[in-house]
Amino acid sequence: MRRTTGIQAALSALLTLSTLGLGLTTATAAPGPAPAPAVASPLSPGLADALQRDLGLTAGQAEARLGQEATAARLLPQLRTTAGAAYGGSWFDPSQGKLVVALTDQARAAEIRAAGAATTAVARTEQSLDRAKTALDAAARTTPAPAAVAGWRVDPQRNSVVVTVAPGSRRDAAVAAFLKSAGTTAAVTVEEGAAQAPRTLSAGVVGGDPYYINGNTRCSIGFAVQGGFVSAGHCGGTGSSVVGWDGSAMGTFAGSSFPGNDYSYIRIANGWWTVPVVLGWGTVSDALVRGSWQAPVGSSVCRSGSTTHWHCGVVQGLNETVNYSQGAVQQLTRTSVCAEPGDSGGSFITGDQAQGVTSGGWGNCSSGGQTWFQPVNEILSRYGLTLVTA
């Protein structure tokens, strides 16, 4: 029970690629040490157009960037190990076309540069920044963060924990008290964000290609896994029933977590089947999923959802805690991609690598905004799932 338009074409493309003998990876949970950088797979038709529209790239620039990002993602685990205790974080720099590794000690810098990355000197290790963010997370569990605090994250490019607050609230007593309670002010940078607070992006029943929870809430499918699919936790609780776009019974939530996390696993039955495909909605051809290598900060990323369909942007931050009205959610990834209600749970993908499921954001796809996603590898690990890949 699933639309075949586009999916058949994508699977035909897979058959063609297999016949040509191109390597197809099957990374699932968080990958181990990286192999030698792989040649990027051919772009899905229309993907270059989407990146040109949303990132201002030409077709040639889009193809080159996706290849560079694929190399950066595969180098990252290896170079993080090489840096050891001096590792201060990393990101993809499109102006250089390569991964940048921050180091508190330059002893291994030459080795890292020889592997194909750039280096830069910083004062704090990623480990120390993670400790500072963990202290903020712990403070928020004891006493919820004030409404003026939108979220907090480790920002490797600033070498700081960045706390985002509502405009005009930088010096609010409640904000200052929250930061002081965590004892992390030395490692913290406070910035004023958008006038709108992040919100989750589920919606009531409307048209599109969604799935529906308990008959009255619409969300979007994330990625196919063996036995079902993953999506956002705020879409439904464990045991909630699900129907598909055509109104037929689809399955139930086998696991769900929100707030704290924002992920879920829906086990399917009733004739529904899984394919390694992300819908392109006519903007691009349906995209094949070949693995789940995590894209570094600065990489391009595209989102598919049942309300606003296909939009692209860049990864702006990892491991951010977002302070939704329902409670704080940890370890989200910040992006510049827009989204609207009903897009919750939908797919974030870089090239052919699954990244995560849509959690929430602010703004819209007319005037712009930001969206956060829950990394897919965490969901796979949490529920012991295997991503369906081409």
Residue 285 is predicted with a pLDDT of: 77
Does the domain made of 1-82+198-390 have the CATH classification 3.60.40.10?
A: no
pTM for this predicted structure: 0.81
d(CA 77, CA 233): 28
Give SS3 for 208.
coil
At 177, phi and psi to the nearest 5?
Answer: -65, -40
CB 105 within 8 A of CB 121: no
Domain with CATH 2.40.10.10 in the chain: 1-82+198-390
Q: Higher confidence at residue 149 or residue 26?
A: 149
Tokens matching residue 310 = 């296909």
Peptide bond into 94 cis (omega under 30): no
Residue 33 is predicted with a pLDDT of: 36
Domain with CATH 3.30.300.50 in the chain: 126-192
Q: What is the pLDDT of residues 164-199, one digit of tens each?
A: 999 988 888 998 888 887 776 678 889 988 767 777
Catalytically annotated residue among 54, 93, 234, 299: 234
**Which class would CATH give 126-192?**
alpha beta
Q: Tell me whether residue 309 is one of the annotated catalytic residues.
A: no
Q: What is the pLDDT of residues 241-290, one digit of tens each?
A: 999 888 889 999 999 999 999 999 999 988 888 889 898 887 777 888 99
d(CA 283, CA 28): 27
Residue 25 is predicted with a pLDDT of: 28
pLDDT band with cut points at 50, 70 and 90 for residue 41: low
Burial status of residue 174 (CB atoms within 10 A of its CB: 0-12, 13-18, 19 or more): middle
Q: Tell me whether residue 344 is one of the annotated catalytic residues.
A: yes
User: Taken in order 345, 374, 174, 141, is the CA torsion positive or negative?
Assistant: positive
Residue 51 is predicted with a pLDDT of: 86
CB 284 within 8 A of CB 45: yes
Task: Of 260, 208, 264, 259, give the one whose Cα is nearest residue 235.
Answer: 264
DSSP 232: -
Give me the helix-helix angle, 126-142 and 173-182, nearest 10°. 120
Catalytically annotated residue among 344, 347, 352, 359: 344
Catalytically annotated residue among 155, 262, 286, 343: 262
d(CA 234, CA 256): 8
In terms of average pLDDT, the best of 57-66, 86-95, 169-178, 217-226 is 86-95
